[in-house]
Structures are given as structure tokens and as C-alpha cells.
Structure 1
């Protein structure tokens, strides 16, 4: 009986953590989407999958946001900052730093290569300032949203 209880708690906590990361990613993605929509660029996100438009752009953005939140959580757990991920206030700073690194690696370096495969020729490095603002907002929302969601999501 006690082994079953321990196993159930482990499984429950694991599912709760996964859900908390996904919720944090969607919260950050919503903020990122608001920034892109405000500057008129949300539809262009669909170009990443060769389908420009509002619905494909929003879909790509939310899926990428959830994946990015998992990367944030995994990187935080691997490094010395694992305990800092549980503090929402520190999470704002850590998340914004994550957004900056995501912009440097993802937008400035990898995006021109990806778009080159689709026939576009953006400059290298691609210094897209609107996406920097969006990714900083994304990170600043994912950072505190993760520990808050982890506290309140129970399965």
C-alpha cells in the first residue's frame, strides 16, 4: 500500500510539473504574441512553416513557446540556478536572460539559415529588434509563471 502511495505521488507531481511548464510557456507565448501583434508581425511568424497568416503564426508561436518553456526548465535544472527557478521574483530576471539568449541564438543566428532554406535571404546576423522585445517579454513571463503554476497546478 505505501509503495503505491509513493508511486502515485511521484506520478502526480511529474504530471503537475509538466503542466506547470506548459502553462508557463503559454503565458509567455501570449505576451510574445501581444508584442508581435502590436507591431504587426504576428502573421509573419507563419513564414517559418511556409504558411503566412494569423492562425498559422499564432499556432507556431504557441507551440514554440511551450517548447521554449521546457528548454528554460531543463537548462535551469541542469545548472546551478535550479533553486532560483522556484522564486517568481528571480524568475523574472532569469527568464529575461533566457529570452535574450533565445533571441541571440534563435533569431540572430539560426533564423537566417532557416529562412534561407525557404528561399528568403535575410541579413546575417538578423538583428530583428521587435522579436527581441517579444522574447524579453516572453522570458519575463515564463520565469515567474513556472514557479507560480507549479505551486497551484495539482493533478
Structure 2
């Protein structure tokens, strides 16, 4: 007889969904603003061959949403695991710890996506680019993105879930 956890899907709480959406919006707008401030807003759509993109902001914010959903899902799943370390489990309620994990996530996205992924993509398409690519502006933008994402996700998640609990006990 096995005593492992079942493979059933658990529906995320309202706070998890709200936290992910609000944090995704704020972090994506922060990311787009930081990229625009460095003058590289057009670079992200250009990676897909969209040099004449009408709405670069929308494209960049869409990228941010995809990354934010992945972060929220991964953090929630890892923090809810029964053998999660205490700081990881507390990151779902602490903006500081969430922000720390967000900065780590932004740095990891930069290492994988910008430092190594973009040069490999350029080489595959016939161009030349040094590996790793050391693009400081994108590192700054992704660290800022991660900090905002990681801090706002537990704030909104906790506020919505606590509000729902207080309504049930009235």
C-alpha cells in the first residue's frame, strides 16, 4: 500500500490567482518601463522577427505575464510542498522573502534567456554574438521585474485570502 500524495489537481485559491495577475501586471509594466528607459524596448519583438511591431509595450508586457505566471506557479507549488524549507514556505506570506526569490528568478531568467539564450538564437539564425552576452540593461530590468513580482505576489495573495477567510467567519 502506498502512502504518497495523490496526483489530483488542486484548484488555486482566489488569492493565488489574484496575486499572480496583479503581480504580473505590475512587474511586467516595471520591466517594460526599465527596458524602454534603456532604449531597448524594440529588441524583444525583434528577437521574433517583428522589427516593425506597432505595440512593443504590449509584446513586452505579454512576455512579462508569461514569466510571472511561471514564477507564481513554481513558487506556490514549491512552497506548499511538505518538505519545503522554512524560508521558501514563508515566501508566500512575506513580501521581503518573495522579493528575494523574485530577484533570484529575474537573475536566472537573465542568465538563461539573455546571457546564453539570445546569443545561441543569434548563432542559429546565422549571426555572431559572444556567449555569454553581458547586457547590463537587461539584467537591471529583469532584477527589477523579479523584485516587483516577488514582493507583490504574496502581498495580494495574502490580502485576498485573508479577506475571504474573514468573510467566512462572520
**TM-score, normalising length: structure 1:** 0.79
| Gaps in structure 1 of 5+ consecutive residues | 1-9
Take 1:93 and 1:55, find their aligned partners in 2: how far apart are those partners? 35
Take 2:125 and 2:13, find their aligned partners in 1: how far apart are those partners? 38
Q: How many residues align?
A: 145
Take 1:48 and 1:134, find their aligned partners in 2: how far apart are those partners? 17
Structure-2 residue corresponding to 1:63: 62
Structure-1 residue corresponding to 2:21: 22
Say if 2:15 and 2:158, in contact at 8 Å, map to a contact too: no
Take 1:131 and 1:19, find their aligned partners in 2: how far apart are those partners? 27
Structure-1 residue corresponding to 2:102: 95
The structure that is helix-richer by fraction is 1
Shift in Å, 1:15:
5.1
Q: In structure 2, do the counterparts of structure 1 residues 86 and 123 end up closer, same or farther at CA, with 3 Å as the change threshold?
A: same
Tell which structure's C-alpha radius of gyration is larger: 2
Take 2:14 and 2:54, find their aligned partners in 1: how far apart are those partners? 29
Deviations 1:89-137 (A, max 9, x none): 2222221111111111111111222233444432211111110000010
Structure-1 residue corresponding to 2:154: 147
**TM-score, normalising length: structure 2:** 0.73
Report the aligned-residue RMSD: 2.5
Q: In structure 2, do the counterparts of structure 1 residues 110 and 67 end up closer, same or farther at CA, with 3 Å as the change threshold?
A: same
